[in-house]
A and B are shown apart, each in its own frame.
Chain A
Amino acid sequence: MLDHFFNPESIAVVGATPREGKIGNTLLKNILSFREQSVRIYAVNPKYDKILNIRCYPSVLQIEEGVNLAVVAVPAIRVPEVLKQCGLKGIKNVVVISAGFKEAGREGAVLESELIRISEKYGLCLVGPNCLGIINTHSGLNATFGKSTPTEGNIAFLSQSGAFALAVIDWAKVANVGFSKVVSLGNKAVLDECGFIEYLAKDNETAVITMYLEDIREGRRFIDIVRHVTRTKPVVVMKSGKTEAGAKAASSHTGSIAGSVEAFRAAFQQSGAIEANSINDLFDFSLTLSRIRHVTGGIAIVTNSGGPGVMAADAIEESGLGLAAFDRETMEKLRDLHVANFYNPVDVMGDADSDKFGSALGIVSADESVGAIIAILSPTAPIEFDKAGDYVLELTGTKPIIPVFMGGDEIAKTVERFKKHGITNYFDPVRAVRALCAVKKYSESRDKVSAPPYYFKVDRNAIKELIELRDRKEVKRSMGVEGFKVLETYGIPVPSYGKAETAAEALELADMIGYPVSMKIVSPDIVHKTDVGCVKLNVRREEVKEMFFEILHRAEKYTSARRIEGILIQQMIEGGKEVIVGMKRDMHFGPLIMFGLGGIYVEVFKDVSFRIAPLSKEDAIEMIKSVKAYRILKGIRGEPMSDIDSLVDVLLRVSQLSMDFPEILEADLNPIKVFEHGKGCYAIDFKMIMGAIR
């Protein structure tokens, strides 16, 4: 159904006007320039009989023929009525350009709710409101009020900011960047990016889907759709509002709420979307991905200037791309060419002419270990850029090559030639490397085998009972000692434990568990128990009562006695390495699972990895491998390897718990003590925040 937005057979422009400078006038003019002559265009405005030489109707209901697409630019207050008329007329695709909805305040929000209600009633596909409109360069449709139309290309651009879309369209003409489709999403009242990504995946004119987003409301759907789409087409996303200040600004701009940066990153990583952190990145990545989809092998640098070659080498090393190691034959040929350095980067020297540079490119491109080439040229006297450009263009069909022709006037003509061939030239070698890195990321994620989530058999009813029991207590939001039972039921090993409310009970429990024991406060108000002296380790029998009173004494300085549930008496677990497994329910993407090295410095080092549940076994392994502390778990300086399989198991079980019980909003298993391979791990402590989701 979305196809009618881009390839309509008939369009009604509601709010068309003969008054120059008005949105309704520019919009109609843009639409009238539609190349497809067979398309019927109707102006709608009760004040006029004719606008720009076409008949004008009082409302869409008076149009005799059927209409596929309505583009609405009337005052916000009139939009609901127009929408109803579209519904009655059987128009299913509507773009509401008009502003004055939720972005404008309370009355606007009420109006927007009405638009949603009317759209649901009539089954309308609605883009906007408060948007720039839609463009399909290949059919010549420009249903926006922008002054320019971009050139044809194979990049589809979705933007949550209309003004940014306008700026990009204007810039793209100068930069010679072409687009296949442009969609300004506006307030995303009905349609959001997800529907369009699905549509564009099947669009033959689109090679890369590029987006600027401030929020993603249907996080789970976004991941599923993008994961599917990226098997065949790259998706590049720039998500703003990632810092505190940015989130605040985005919140004021669109009313979006700040999701966690980690959740967005994990979502992009798991779905295979390539994340761009700047406008340069967004279009560098998109343009490069529109012509290069694989980098299989190392990167070769061919340059006539040492400095920029070193810059590129640094960037390649830092990005993890890796410089190609040439085979003997390549090096011998390069030596015969009399280059300064026949290892990678290849320095043809400042006195080299374009032919020598071209020969070096040819030799390097024939090497099987080379996945892509960065061709760097400074404007030295012997270089003829036109000729050098020919060599680059010749090679584009055989091996991915990115030109970094550095200069201004000297290179201008060649750069224009590159643009015509859809090739971007970079002044900065680092940008070229970043673009190649995006290609590598894309090809890796595309080729990754998508494993299904891992599930265990557990007694879910037992947990339900526990949660219900907890719900009847006064401290509902935080799971007390019962949380250990939850972990046990999910097959996560925990030490023997019990909760004591009196000193006598504490002694009785400790006798049962066996000495020494650990003793910890149980209170929803005391999260960092060690910080306030509410954890006692290696407690012997004769110390139990004294420690019981001391912990309570310290705790009561920190919180009210009525918020203290008692004291946890626990089997003392010695040794092992400490890791942490956490779960935080993100508002957009659902459960976000975290893994990292544990202990009190976890918040300082932030050596943690994130994935969105449900996890596959491969996800869990990847999470563990991607933290720096993985080397410690593997064992350093003769230490035995830790039981990593048991940690994979815990990650998968926490993932399943988070999927099974939406009531659990947050959970931290910290620390988990992991022992050497084959000896398992124990969740020593935990924190669980419960919600009221049913």
Chain B
Amino acid sequence: MKSLLVSSIEEYSGKSALIVALGLILREKGFKVGYFKPFCVGTTRINDELVDEDAYNTVSVLNTGDDIEDICPVKLDRPYVEFVCSADPVSLKKRVMDSYKRISEDKDIVLVEGAVEYKVGRAMGLSDPDVSSSLDLGALMVVKYTSDFVLDGILTARELFGERLKFVLFNQLAGYKKAYVRDIAERFLKRNGMEMLGTLPYDPLLAGLFVSELGEALNGEWLVKPDEDVIIEEFLIGAMSPPAALKYFRRVRQATLITGGDRADLQNLALETGNIKCLLLTGHLEPPATMLGKAEDKGIPVILVADDTLTTVEKVDEVFGKVRIKGDAKIRRIKELVERFIDLKSLGVLK
């Protein structure tokens, strides 16, 4: 049995998405795949049960058949400071080890998901390097390429993980920096005892948000309900004249237009361009009935919110930064990307 700890330098780097894709691919190849998340920080209540949102999503896709209490043995159910003061690191470690044992018993491979980022849980011996050491797991670091300085972050992590940090995967790498990847792999990672597993490009669909998630997050009123729950990849703020707006409307795709309810000119224009998939109207200003009729006809949802445009943009921005891999389209896409850009043989699991 081989297992792999998937860790990250910072939060929202794409660990869960990668695990979902790896799990599906390995299962297709005939492996019995397990999933384990030792330290669950992002807890929420679903049907009165305290669950980790990421783990909940992953389990619902991979459906590994294990007890959720074993998959998520330690859940942060109180402020971390309280947790550090009250919990016993030794018993926590034992709980993690026991659960892992049960999970891994009948599996060919267990995909272990790290906490928010690799240092989280260090105070309680639950950080990714601690788990990697206690369960003797090789680690893969998912690195969101936010700036060139992430390279320094990898080295710092390597100091904590030691030789167990074997693989690095760059996520959301795009643009001219891709040309430097070969040099990074050769000159930097290899020199420091790590191997580059591959790079995943930035993908707008994966970074997108379901229109239902948008409506829910903003607590908006549906003036026109969506025919289907489409994915919104970006948003635009409509404050300009229609001819100027058209330029922007054309450059986007799968976008939401955030504009005042009184801007019928922009709303009607947006409905015609085909790239705007949702209208988010601000200031609690009811739009004209003609526009709503057209939106209904075209199946484009319209959400009315009470906030002003600026506040709405801030809220939308925040929701966009925390998207999860949900829904068939996104799952299909991440699986395609992993199959296309990652050499699974170098992980060793397929050897």
Contacts and interface: CB of A to CB of B under 8 A. Distances in A.
Interface in A288-344: none
Interface stretch (B21-29, B30-38, B63-71, B172-180): B172-180
Interface stretch (A40-48, A530-538, A558-566): A558-566
Interface residues of B, number: 46
Interface stretch (B41-49, B104-112, B286-294, B304-312): B286-294
B250 A666 contact: yes
Contact of A565 (B175, B246, B263, B292): B175
Interface in A252-280: 252-258, 260
A132 interface: no
A474 interface: yes
Given A258-B242, A502-B179, A562-B173, A106 B292 contact: yes
B293 A106 contact: yes
B296 A587 contact: no
Contacts of B252: 477
Contacts of B172: 562
Interface in A480-518: 501-502, 505
Interface stretch (A97-105, A400-408, A426-434, A669-677): A97-105
B269 A258 contact: yes
Contact of B175 (A248, A561, A587): A561
B290 A257 contact: no
Contacts of B265: 244, 247-248, 250-251, 257-258
B224 interface: yes
Given A244-B241, A248-B264, A477-B251, A692 B274 contact: yes
B177 A561 contact: yes
Contacts of A560: 175
B292 A566 contact: no
A93 to B, nearest CB: 25
A228 interface: no
Nearest to A258: B242
Contacts of A665: 250
B227 interface: no
A476 B288 contact: no
Interface in B232-290: 241-243, 246-247, 250-253, 263-265, 267-269, 271-275, 288-290
B296 A251 contact: no
Contacts of A103: 289-290, 293
B222 to A, nearest CB: 12
Contacts of B341: none
Given A244-B242, A477-B250, A524-B251, A102 B175 contact: no
A600 interface: no
B204 A474 contact: yes
A478 interface: yes
B175 A110 contact: no
B264 A106 contact: no
A109 interface: yes
A329 B204 CA distance: 80
B268 A251 contact: yes
B253 A105 contact: no
Interface in A638-694: 665-666, 689, 691-692
Which of B177, B275, B290, B294 is the most central at the interface, judged by chain A CB atoms within 10 Å of its CB? Answer: B290
A252 B175 contact: no
Nearest to B242: A258
A109 B263 CA distance: 19
A562 B179 contact: no
A257 B273 CA distance: 10
A248 B262 CA distance: 9
Nearest to A261: B243
Nearest to A693: B274
A552 interface: yes
B242 A257 contact: yes
Contact of A247 (B242, B274, B293): B242
A671 B235 CA distance: 31
A501 B243 CA distance: 34
Contact of A561 (B176, B264, B291): B176
A113 interface: yes
Main secondary structure of the interface of B (DSSP, over half): helix
B221 interface: no
Given A257-B242, A257-B268, A562-B145, A478 B174 contact: no
Contact of B250 (A109, A250, A257, A691): A691
A565 B202 contact: no
Nearest to B148: A561
Contacts of B271: 257
B173 to A, nearest CB: 7
B125 interface: no
Contacts of A18: none
Nearest to A563: B175
Interface string A101-140: 0111111111011000000000000000000000000000
B297 interface: yes
Contacts of B250: 477, 665-666, 689, 691
B201 interface: yes
Contact of B176 (A248, A251, A253, A552): A552
Contacts of B272: 257, 587
Interface in B138-176: 145, 147, 172-176
Contacts of A247: 242, 265
Nearest to B241: A244
A569 to B, nearest CB: 13
Nearest to A687: B247
Given A102-B290, A106-B293, A110-B296, A256 B268 contact: yes
A297 to B, nearest CB: 40
B78 to A, nearest CB: 37
Interface in A549-600: 552, 560-567, 587
B179 to A, nearest CB: 3
Interface string B182-211: 000000000000000000011110000000
Given A248-B263, A258-B242, A109 B178 contact: no
Nearest to B252: A477
Interface string A467-478: 000000010111
Contacts of A108: 289, 293
A113 B251 contact: no
Interface in A439-484: 474, 476-478
A48 to B, nearest CB: 33
B274 to A, nearest CB: 7
A665 B291 CA distance: 24
Contact of A255 (B173, B178, B202, B290): B290
Given A252-B288, A258-B243, A501 B178 contact: yes
Given A244-B265, A248-B264, A476 B293 contact: no
Given A106-B293, A106-B296, A247-B265, A478 B251 contact: yes
Nearest to B147: A561
Given A251-B268, A260-B243, A587-B272, A565 B297 contact: no
A562 B144 CA distance: 12
A105 B289 contact: yes
B268 A105 contact: no
Contacts of A562: 145, 172-175, 177, 202
Interface of A: 102-110, 112-113, 244, 247-248, 250-258, 260, 474, 476-478, 501-502, 505, 523-524, 552, 560-567, 587, 665-666, 689, 691-692
State the 9 A-B residue pairs at the shortest beta-carbon distance, nearest first. A109-B293, A105-B289, A501-B179, A255-B290, A562-B174, A258-B242, A251-B264, A251-B265, A248-B265
Given A474-B174, A524-B251, 4 more contacts: A108-B289, A251-B264, A255-B268, A502-B179
30 contacts: A105-B290, A106-B224, A106-B296, A109-B296, A109-B297, A244-B242, A247-B265, A250-B265, A251-B291, A252-B290, A255-B288, A256-B268, A257-B271, A258-B242, A258-B268, A258-B269, A474-B201, A474-B202, A474-B204, A477-B253, A501-B179, A562-B172, A562-B174, A563-B175, A564-B175, A565-B175, A566-B176, A566-B179, A567-B176, A692-B274
